[in-house]
Amino acid sequence: MIWTGILILLIFPVFQPVALSYELVTAYANIIYQDKETLEKFNRRINPGRLRFFMPQTDGSLEGEVKAKIDLITHRVQTVLDMYPENLRYNIYLVEDRRQVQAIYKNLYRTDKDYIAFYSPQLNTVYISPDRMNITVLAHEIGHVVVENFFDISPPERIHELLAQFAERNLGN
């Protein structure tokens, strides 16, 4: 039994890039973060602008506000793309800074990229740091989530990117 567990870990390594300790569950996403300060910074960086008029009433808590924003952005991206994946669920890992985003990307894909955020289709996870992100960066990554979860066969990378850019640019329209 122990050997089976070790073999499984060798074949399917667990990708837990940082020690994370909290999870916030929304209608669409599981948001994993290290501490309340990170969640507060993430929340401040998501300025809904004109979308504020569509925000549902919250319980006034930080967690309630983050949930409402993520679900609103996810729903809005689906509307912009006219793509509604069945039973959409994805993860958002809030990481410390841009360097950590880049380190996770390098660990997963064995190449260097100067990203401030990215979506891993294999893990159905957005990795993002609140230090330089904004609502359009988040909408772009959620665009990748929606596109990947909508199609049975993922579209070519260039089409994926064009659709994510379209979602980003038209979020408020």
Q: Which two tokens stand for residue 80?
A: 């912009």
pTM equals 0.86
Phi-psi region of 159 (alpha: psi -120 to 50; beta: other; left: phi over 0): alpha
pLDDT over threshold 50, residue 6: no
CATH level 2 (architecture), domain 18-169? 3-Layer(aba) Sandwich (3.40)
How does residue 19 score in pLDDT terms, banded at 50, 70 and 90?
low
Name the residue among 72, 81, 70 with its Cα closest to residue 151: 81
For residue range 21-31, list pLDDT tens digits in order: 799 999 999 99
pLDDT for 54 beyond 90? no
